Structure 1
Amino acid sequence: MYAIIETGGKQYKVEKDDVIFVEKLAVDENSSVDFKVVAVSGDNGLKVGAPYVEGASVQGKVLKNGKAKKINIWTYKAKKGESRKMGHRQPYTKVQIEAINA
């Protein structure tokens, strides 16, 4: 059994006990979170929502809030001698899927 969930403007295919990294959520560690279900597949086949499946839910447990590795960005303008360095660390939430209720 798997489900397609939506969070942070992205969609993820998840199964029970999967660990996923999603866009940062405003929840504390060791708390539970519910996700919107776009589609769910089970014994009865695939059920697709319009836009979400009614009565279906996916529960997850927040394991960690953190930041990804730093990426460095260089911008450069040719023949002007202009360049600058920027960095970015994307925040994330690490979630373990506990149950898929269809």
Structure 2
Amino acid sequence: MYALVEILGKQYKAIEGQTVQVDYIGQLEEGASLEYATVLAIVDEDNAKFGTPYVADAKVKATLGGSLKGDKIRVFKKERRKGYRRTQGHRQRYSLITIDQIIA
């Protein structure tokens, strides 16, 4: 059994007991309980429920784990023979959540 859930504007496949890497969820401490009612679909072995846009009375309960940083991305721009060079870097932050329960 799995569910497709929308978290912070992005869609993730949630399976019970699995840890999912999502965009950074700030201002919460590690071990906090989360509940998402924005469930797009619930798929079981025999049947499937699809929402328009969300499945009614469906929830996904999760626990917030730690946070981590993704790979560093370096952006380099240059125009030849003009003396123009710019370097910019970025490193995305992510949160880890563990899916505890899918309520259909």
Q: Same fold (TM over 0.5)?
A: yes
Pairwise CA distance, 1:18: 1.0
For residues 53 and 67 of structure 2, the distance between their equivalents in structure 1, rounded to whole angstroms, comes to 28
Q: State the percentage of identical aligned residues.
A: 34
How many residues in Structure 1 have an aligned counterpart in Structure 2? 102
TM-score, normalised via structure 1 length: 0.89
Separation of aligned partners in 2, 1:29 and 1:77: 46
2:74 counterpart letter in structure 1: N
> Paired residue for 1:75?
77
Give the CA deviation at 1:8. 2.0
RMSD: 1.5
Structure 2: runs of 5 or more not aligned: none
CA shift for structure 1 position 67:
2.3
Q: CA deviation at 1:78?
A: 3.4
Task: Identify the residue that residue 45 of structure 1 maps to in structure 2.
Answer: 47
Unaligned runs of 5+ in 1: none
Q: Residue 25 of structure 1 aligns to which amino acid in structure 2?
A: I
| Gap change, CA 1:77 and 1:8, over 3 Å in 2 | farther
